Chains A and B, each alone.
Chain A
Amino acid sequence: MRFGIAVFPGTWSDRDCAHAVQLDGHDAVMLWHKDRSLQGVDCVILPGGFSYGDYLRTGAVARFAPLMESVQEFAAGGGLVWGICNGFQVLCEAHMLPGALVRNGSLQFRCEPSWLRVETTGTAYTSGLRLGQVLQIPVSHGEGRYVADPATLDLLEEQRRVAFRYVAPDGSAVGAASPNGSLRDIAGVVNEGRNVLGMMPHPERACEPLLGSADGMELFRSVAASLARTATFA
């Protein structure tokens, strides 16, 4: 499979994403923010970092990049677009996902392991996982508190569009140990078409046992397996 990885000025997790993709035997294609071509990739990753310095608001300026027009078209046609950390912030700013990501409740930049419970397997990103499975994947952000109005949150729950929730290591409610104070402990959501995922934690930083967890690799494998299934039936 070919994974495209967007590179904005200030992106910092692009190489880590490429490494994770290659580790699983796939091609990684770097997509420069000024280009419009997606170079025939099967999945676009918007990686972590501080695109355009995160000036004004996180992700606010990146959404105007020429590349993002192509990414929006790709997503509208059902293409897989996966925003991680800053990528999630960009997707919210671009209104490709509901809600917004604001300053952590603690006001601290949190770079630490977090535990995520899989809340739906009905997406390409999670179809290879088990419902309720707990993954250890690190967070690394200062502005990751997910907020949306109650009606939007209810709709997300009703449509099973919450992909991941922060939990304690044993899978119980995270409570005050939440890394950012997200409403309803939401760590990741998908769009209505379920092809666009935004998540704050960094699966690409949990792809090898040497890094303390290889749970993140399960997401990359899930995407690749979903793409392979689609290709077979196409």
Chain B
Amino acid sequence: MIYAVEVAVTLKPVVNDPQGLVVRDGLRQLGFAQVRSARVGKVIALELEAASEAEARDAVVQMCEKLLRNPVIEDYHIESVAAGVGA
């Protein structure tokens, strides 16, 4: 079975995010005065082969631990796991 998995990798809250500050200020300048903060991360979209959803999740957790995020500065969160995509 093919699974489509999306992982969000974001800077830890304690790590200053100058890119996020620029986005926040840009939004405010455009009139979105209600914006309190903005933080910029990335989404990694994977398609992988797995026997079950649990197996797909486990594999992606290992990928995050080994490569996709830097534990010193980043957190990750599996946003979605969908079966049968791209098959």
Contacts and interface: CB of A to CB of B under 8 A. Distances in A.
B70 A105 contact: no
A100 B18 contact: no
B16 interface: yes
Contacts, number: 33
A162 B44 CA distance: 35
Given A107-B18, A107-B22, A149-B14, A102 B73 contact: yes
Interface size class of A (residues with CB under 8 A): 10 to 19
Contact of A104 (B18, B67, B70, B73): B18
Interface size class of B (residues with CB under 8 A): 10 to 19
A102 B72 CA distance: 11
Contacts of B54: none
B19 interface: yes
A148 B72 contact: yes
Contacts of A128: none
B11 to A, nearest CB: 8
Nearest to B72: A100
Contacts of B30: none
A56 interface: yes
A191 B10 CA distance: 27
B70 A60 contact: yes
A133 interface: no
Contacts of A181: 16, 18
B73 A105 contact: no
A185 interface: no
B67 A56 contact: yes
A63 to B, nearest CB: 9
Interface of B: 11, 14-16, 18-19, 22, 67-68, 70, 72-73
10 contacts: A60-B67, A98-B72, A99-B72, A104-B18, A106-B18, A145-B16, A147-B15, A147-B16, A148-B72, A149-B14
